[in-house]
Each structure stands twice: as C-alpha cells, then as structure tokens.
Amino acid sequence: MAKVTTNEIIEKFKMELVSGEEGIHRPITTSDISRPGLEMAGYFSYYPAERIQLLGRTEMSFYELLSTDEKKDRMRQLCTDNTPGIILSRDIEVPKELIEASELGQVPVMRTPVKTTRFSSRLTNFLESKLAPTTALHGVLVDIYGVGVLITGKSGVGKSETALELVKRGHRLVADDSVEIRQEDTDTLIGSSPELIEHLLEIRGLGIINVMTLFGAGAVRSHKRVTLVIDLEIWDKTKQYDRLGLDEETMRIIDTDITKITLPVRPGRNLAVIIEVAAMNFRLKRMGMNAAEQFSNRLNDIIVDGDHDDI
C-alpha cells in the first residue's frame, strides 16, 4: 500500500518545521485535509484526527477570541497520536499553546506562506497522486500519437521488438517488461516504469538497450495515461477473430475498464504498423467517427433497399 510521511510533504512544499520534530515520520493515510473550524469551537465528536490539519486565517482569528484555558484545551485535543501534522498557512504566527501541545504529543507543526485555499488544493493533488491505488502489469507501455497503448501478451510473443519498431517510427517508450499503474481517478490510469529499468528495453538475442541514449530524449517519457490495451497472442487457426471491429472488448485494471484489442501474431504481419493504426482508429472513435459502424449502417441500408426492390 502506498504511503506518504509528513517529512515528505515538508520537503515537497518547502515548509518551515516549527515544532514536533519527533513526529515527522508519521504516515499520512488519506488525501483528505481537515480545516478544524468546529474543533476550535470545542466540538470534537467527529474530529478526523487521521487527516492533515490545516489552519488558516479564519480558524486562527476565532482562536484568538478564546480564553487561555480554552486555547490550551483546543490545541491539546488537536494533537492526537493519529494526527500526522498541523499546518498554518499565510505564515501565521504559531501560538505558544500549539507549540507546547505538539511537543508533548510529538505532532509536527509546519508553516507555509501560501494562501490557505491554494495550498489545500496543491496538497490534496499531491496526496491523491501518491496515495492512489497501484498495481504492476507485465507488458510494454508506449505513447502513440498521444494515446497510451499498453501492449500485453505472453513472454516471447514480441512485445519489446514491436515497441522498438514503434520507437523507430517516432513514438515514445514509457515502460518495458513491468508497467507500474496507479489509479488517480475513477477512470484515469497513469502508467510509468520502475526506476531500475526506466528507459531500458530488452531485446532477446541483443540484450538490454537504453532507448534514450540511442534515440534521444524525445523517444521516451516518464509517465502516460493508459487508454488502450493491445493483447498479442499467437495465431490460433481454430479461433474466430473479429474482422469488423464492432464488438468492443474491455480489460479491468484496478477499478477501471480499458478498451482492449486482441491481435493475432504470425509471420508476415507488421505489428508496429497495425498497432499504430489501432491507436489512430481509437482516437477517431473517441471523436465520434467509427468506420465499422458506418460500414455496418451502409450494409444494412443496402439490405433494406434490396428488400424493398423485391417488393
């Protein structure tokens, strides 16, 4: 399971650590952020202690109206064993009551000069990206005309060789052999390469080659949204393959269904060109132009007209 520590967001957003340094390695388990306005008023019945607590001008202006005992009580209740950290925006001065409570509870207190709403948005986006569900698939991910194409298939079917041909044709390699995929939204899958094998391609008989060194920085990219899966399989004479393209197959990755095309492999087929055209045709379909449906409609019109002529 992916996780982020408080220390990582301190380094990412270059925040000032004011107190509670002993707790900077606490894990952050949710991308939700809490602005404890009701808690400042004393209502802690539904306090989401596991979230990052963000204090802005509104919360702190109300805090200043409290008595000394109330201030100590509120800050003590904010700093729980589960709280990953408390952030003050706009470089607001950190109250001494909060410093004392954070040192006692070992809860990191940080400060940023960024406005509250803007910082909340940036931090939420960062946490959602880091904490997104992830998986790893065996295959090759290539950016073809802006379409993230995941090429899958059994070992030795020719995935890497096809990817090499696609790179030579001007497309960009994202990952070979192992593709790390994270779900950043309900329908958004982002694929990338493990750091160890980034930019590398394995060609049987040739070995490992560095695509960026051979073809330049324009031949690779670090990540790409996965929108199409092409599964390569050895040609099976007994199997009936789709010849029109009317039936759309899908593949579920994490919680997202991705369009899948099965391509039979046999000598003489130029897989790189076929995959290239498949990517272009996929883009056309998303633009509302479906050649298979147009052909089917024309064929139906001819059949209907023929029936009318017989009448």
Q: Which residues are catalytic?
A: 138, 159, 177, 243
Cβ–Cβ under 8 Å, residues 48 and 82 = no
Q: Is 105 annotated as a binding residue?
A: no
Q: CA torsion, points 17, 13, 57, 30, in degrees to nearest 10?
A: -90
Burial class of residue 174 in the structure, from the number of CB atoms within 10 Å of its CB (0-12 exposed, 13-18 middle, 19+ buried)? buried
Q: What gap in Å lies between CA 271 and CA 228, rounded to an integer?
A: 15
Q: Is 192 annotated as a binding residue?
A: no
DSSP state of 23: G
Q: Is 191 annotated as a binding residue?
A: no
Burial class of residue 211 in the structure, from the number of CB atoms within 10 Å of its CB (0-12 exposed, 13-18 middle, 19+ buried)? buried
Q: What gap in Å lies between CA 71 and CA 217, rounded to an integer?
A: 56
Q: Locate 79 and state its tokens.
A: 């700093």
Q: Locate 210 and state its tokens.
A: 């560095």
Cβ–Cβ under 8 Å, residues 189 and 134 = no
- Helix, strand and coil content of the chain, in percent to the nearest 5, comes to 35, 30, 35
Q: Locate 119 and state its tokens.
A: 């910082």
Q: Is 157 annotated as a binding residue?
A: yes
- Residue entry with tokens 């009448």: 311
Q: What gap in Å lies between CA 152 and CA 228, rounded to an integer?
A: 11
Q: Is 154 annotated as a binding residue?
A: yes
Q: What angle do CA 194, 197, 203 make, to 5 degrees?
A: 135
- 220, 274, 295 from 289: Cα distances, Å: 30, 18, 11
Residue numbers belonging to the annotated binding site for ATP: 153-160
Residue numbers belonging to the annotated binding site for Mg(2+): 160, 202
Residue numbers belonging to the annotated binding site: 153-160, 202
